[in-house]
Amino acid sequence: MASGVTVAIVGVTGAVGQTTLKILEERKFPVKSLRVFASERSVGKAVTFKGDTVRVEKVAPEVFKGVDVAFFSAGSAQSKEYAPRAVRAGAVVVDKSSAYRMDPSVPLVVPEINAHALRGHQGIVACPNCTTIVTVMPLKPLHDAGRLRRVIATSYQAVSGAGVNGVEELRRQTLQWARGETMTATYFPHQIAFNVIPHIDKFADSGYTGEEMKLVSEVRKILETPDLAISPTTVRVPVFTAHSVAVNAETEANLGPDRARELFASFPGLKLWDEPAQNRYPMPIAVEGQDDCYVGRVRQDLSLPNAINFWVVGDQLRKGAALTGVQVAELLIR
């Protein structure tokens, strides 16, 4: 593939699709030919890649002939319908939807953590949910050094995690507020401007949301710890981009905050911003647009000797989605 690969992006008009385009360009992914797909209502639109205009095509079963790598970020239903077609046509699929994440025959991969899981893939590789990626990145070095025993994760999730409609809703409500108008909620279940909503994805009978349960099952699969104790709370906040997670991590070994800081600082894809005296800690506005996940507020848990608290922030469109997908593809075409 020295001369490059033929790439397809399904769901190119969405927030993750758009970011995937940008990252393929930034990272000089060896694209020989690019085809971009979306649902019927986006046909006729066009996207720009390396200065060229590429017209959006309607996704259909037969479009994947000749495609080497297909990025899917159009939702579970589209992935279920078209990913197997793409594989049969000879493509490898990097799927950002939740369709195949928990399928035992599909690797669920964060390249810095479990690239080895790619071996023996059967054509589809799944990328984890955005909140999972941001949370699992700092958990991995702690687990390797001290064996995780229990994790309590509490999130502050940006509206772009819900796609371009989420961004549009926060923007519109804020402008309505600025004009003194009534704020209207059409996409999120409640007003998100100047509010926080402890509800992302559907509720199960247990009282947990789909988003919370994804965090549990995906972290377990990625870390290969099927019984790891994880207690999740996921919350939408009026932030445009970058998810923040407050994490309490209990380990078998007593690592302590100094060792944890060293582990975070030396793990690929993580950066340590932990200088409270200089008001320096990760925040969404500082991390938006960055490739790495940023960890700060590392401190001893006052309530348990073998536990620490920390705060991790990641751009959920980049590391939480598109970047991880492109990194996976880079490994696949190597």
Minimum CB–partner distance for residue 195 and a copy of itself (Å): 4
3-state secondary structure labels for all residues of 61-87: HHHHCCCCEEEECCCHHHHHHHHHHHH
Report the C-alpha gap between 316 and 26 in whole angstroms: 17
Binding flag, residue 273, a copy of itself (CB under 8 A) = no
Judged by CB under 8 A, the residue of 108, 125, 216, 322 near a copy of itself is 216
* Binding letters toward a copy of itself, positions 49-78, x by CB under 8 A: ------------------------------
DSSP helix/strand/coil, 293? strand
Residue 50 contacts by C-beta under 8 Å, 6 or more apart in sequence?
25, 31
284 contributes a contact to a copy of itself by CB under 8 A: yes
Q: Is 53 exposed, middle or buried (0-12, 13-18, 19+ CB in 10 A)?
A: exposed
- Choices 58-66, 129-137, 147-155, 322-330 (CB under 8 A): range interacting with a copy of itself: 147-155
> Could you confirm whether 130 is annotated as catalytic?
yes
Query: Is 302 an interacting residue with respect to a copy of itself (CB under 8 A)?
Result: yes
CB-count burial class (<10 Å; 0-12, 13-18, 19+) for 204: exposed
The smaller minimum CB distance to a copy of itself, of residues 74 and 283, is found at 283
Residue 129 to residue 213: CA distance in whole angstroms? 11
d(CA 185, CA 181): 13
Whether 293 sits among the annotated catalytic residues: the reply is no
Does 217 engage in binding with a copy of itself (CB under 8 A)? no
Cβ neighbours of residue 53 under 8 Å, at least 6 residues apart? 46, 47
| Residue 277 lies near a copy of itself (rule: CB under 8 A) | yes
CB 79 within 8 A of CB 100: yes
Q: Which among 13-21, 73-81, 109-117, 294-302 is the span making contact with a copy of itself, rule CB under 8 A?
A: 294-302
Residues of this chain that interact with a copy of itself (CB under 8 A) are 150-152, 154, 156, 170, 174-175, 177-178, 189-191, 194-199, 203, 206-208, 216, 229-233, 235, 237-240, 244, 246, 248, 257, 276-277, 279, 281-286, 296-304, 307, 309, 311
Would you please indicate which residues are annotated as catalytic (active-site) residues? 130, 243
